[in-house]
């Protein structure tokens, strides 16, 4: 009888220890990436960051020449940059870390597809601003 109680208590201790180890694995800080996006167009646009079709961050109206900094957490859901011009979605890019490098600078540029009469916008690699020494 005593040996069966010892075996059961050892099994319970092992189960609790395994449970603690598994729960601690998920406690690390989430990995993040940062992108710098410059509106190089001649139009103001509204920029947003979406994840799983929900707005995570709304950067509001971004004027021509203005740069915003987007910081995203990496999860199984995609981070999506979205640009709206005149209340219509004119730009959308999945910010895949395999394509867009952490700390990278990207410019918003217009493009037109086939017979479309409206301009759309996409992200292309840009150049980091250089500081001028006085």
Q: What local confidence, expressed as pLDDT, does residue 23 receive?
A: 65
pLDDT, one tens digit per residue, over 19-47 is 776 666 666 777 899 999 999 999 899 99
DSSP string for 9-22 = HHHHHHHHHHHHHH
pLDDT at residue number 103: 87
Q: For tokens 């959308």, what's the residue? A: 92
The three-point CA angle 117-122-124 to 5° equals: 135
Domain ranges of the chain: 32-125
pLDDT reported for residue 11: 87
- Residues whose CB falls within 8 Å of the CB of residue 20, separated by 6 or more in sequence, listed in order: none
pLDDT at 17: 77
Q: Which residue stretches of the chain have pLDDT < 70? A: 1, 21-27, 131-134
Q: Which residues contact 74 (CB under 8 A, 6 or more apart)?
A: 30, 31, 32, 33, 97
Interatomic CA distance for residues 16 and 50, integer angstroms: 38
CATH of region 32-125, choose from 3.40.1350, 3.10.310, 2.60.40, 3.10.20:
2.60.40
């Amino acid at each position: 009888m005593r040996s069966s109680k010892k075996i059961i208590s050892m099994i319970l201790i092992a189960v609790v220890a395994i449970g603690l180890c598994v729960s601690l694995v998920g406690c690390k800080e989430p990995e993040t990436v940062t992108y710098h996006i410059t509106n190089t167009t001649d139009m103001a646009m509204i920029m947003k960051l979406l994840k799983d079709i929900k707005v995570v961050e709304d950067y509001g109206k971004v004027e021509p020449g203005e740069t915003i900094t987007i910081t995203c957490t990496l999860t199984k859901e995609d981070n999506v940059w979205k640009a709206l011009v005149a209340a219509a979605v004119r730009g959308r890019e999945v910010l895949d870390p395999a394509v867009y490098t952490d700390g990278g600078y990207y410019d918003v540029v217009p493009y037109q597809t086939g017979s479309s009469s409206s301009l759309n916008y996409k992200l292309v690699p840009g150049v980091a601003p250089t500081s001028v020494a006085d």
